[in-house]
Amino acid sequence: MNSAKEKRIVVCISGMAGTGKSTLAKKLAEKYGLKYYSGGDSLKALAAEEGCNVSSNGWWESPEGLAFLRQRENDLKFDKAIDDKLLEYAQQGNVLLDSWTMPWLLKTGFKIWLLASIEKRAERVAQRDKITVEDALRILKEKEARTKAIYQKLYGFTLGEDFAPFNLVLDTDNLTAEEVFQVLCKVLDNAVFCSGKA
């Protein structure tokens, strides 16, 4: 395997909540020696600065997380600040960006979308956050409608519906996390670290 140091690699991983993107993104960054940056984690840090307690698992789906989402909807400066920072990181190269916006904002890089049905994602979120599937489904629907509104307003794309920027769209409904990881490693080995596409 070629080292990322030899060229300025940029990989973006996106997918709605419950697709496992953050866990996979961290594993892939570690495997390929890429710096990992998460748009969600950076937004959480801003929420903490606003006085939120972001330490709980599944914070984005909590009442406090949804309240911060409404705050972001009313003031787009939060998302804009994070995206500007992620674009700076991308310029440096040798990064893996876990982000909903970078695939649209970056002209370069290898972009992956992890797809899963809302039912399957609700099951995974319910298990992770120890809530009912019904509650997870309701929360995901609200969260995603609000998030889509933010990016539509800021950048004009429809999150989760527009796949134009992506090099790979992978349906994870019937795959385990390990199977998804193995598939992505094969794709990155061939498309990014050998052919110099990114």
- Please report the DSSP string for 87-146 in residue order: HHHHHH-SEEEE-SSHHHH-SSSEEEEEE--HHHHHHHHHHHHT--HHHHHHHHHHHHHH
* Domain count across the chain: 1
The boundaries of the domain holding residue 153 are 4-191
In this structure, is residue 95 part of a structural domain? yes
Q: Is residue 196 in some structural domain?
A: no
Residue 14 lies in a domain: yes
Question: Does residue 158 lie within any of the structural domains?
Answer: yes
- Rounded to 5 degrees, what angle do the CA atoms 72, 28, 91 make? 60
Specify the pTM: 0.89
Whichever domain contains 161, its CATH number is 3.40.50.300
Does a structural domain hold residue 138? yes
Q: What is the pLDDT along the chain (198 residues), one digit of tens a residue?
A: 444 445 689 999 999 999 989 999 999 999 999 999 999 999 999 999 999 999 887 888 888 999 999 999 999 999 999 999 999 999 999 999 999 999 999 999 999 999 999 999 999 999 988 899 999 999 999 999 999 999 999 999 999 998 999 999 999 999 999 999 999 999 999 999 885 444
Give a yes or no: residue 198 inside a domain: no
Phi-psi domain of 94 (left: phi exceeds 0; alpha: psi -120 through 50; beta: other): left
In a domain, 119, yes or no: yes
Q: Is residue 197 part of a domain?
A: no
Angstrom CA distances, 140 to 13, 20, 34, 157, 165, stand at 19, 14, 30, 19, 24
